[in-house]
């Protein structure tokens, strides 16, 4: 006996359709308004910064390595959280193997944090 095809329920797709139509309408409106709108260029708007403060130092300036190091440490520990959260959610379903993996993972992260702390990478110079 052949299965009957499931009818397509359009009401379940209606919110997505409305969202797409509204998003497309906003995009078209923004493009149309920027095309037909009045443009008044002036030297102030041509500057790279529009804060009103005159630049007194060169625009191209090197960042301190502390910013880079802090950003990299943030990314590393943020990715750690991205891996840790899903494992914590299903920890009960996987049993002992998941607990051991979680313990090893946390030990590695604790060792990394201890190393970073010992090297004083978290302090501003």
Q: What is the pLDDT of residues 60-110, one digit of tens each?
A: 677 677 778 888 888 988 988 888 888 888 888 888 888 898 899 889 989
pLDDT more than 70, % of the chain: 79
Record the pTM: 0.45
Q: Where are the domains of the chain?
A: 63-118
Helix (H) or strand (E) run with residue 93 in it = helix 91-94
Query: Which helix (H) or strand (E) is 7 found in, with range?
Result: none
Q: How far apart are the first and last CA of the chain?
A: 77
Q: Per residue in 42-69, pLDDT tens?
A: 776 666 665 656 666 666 677 677 778 8
């Amino acid at each position: 006996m052949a299965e009957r095809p499931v009818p397509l329920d359009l009401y379940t797709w209606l919110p997505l359709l409305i969202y797409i139509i509204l998003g497309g309408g906003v995009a078209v409106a923004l493009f149309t308004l920027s095309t037909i709108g009045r443009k008044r260029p002036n030297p102030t708007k041509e500057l790279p910064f529009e804060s009103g403060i005159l630049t007194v130092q060169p625009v191209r300036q090197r960042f301190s390595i502390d910013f880079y190091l802090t950003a990299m440490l943030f990314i590393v520990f943020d990715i750690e959280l991205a891996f840790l959260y899903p494992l914590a959610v299903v920890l009960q379903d996987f049993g002992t193997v998941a607990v051991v993996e979680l313990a090893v993972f946390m030990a590695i992260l604790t060792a990394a944090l201890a190393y970073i702390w010992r090297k004083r990478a978290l302090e501003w110079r």
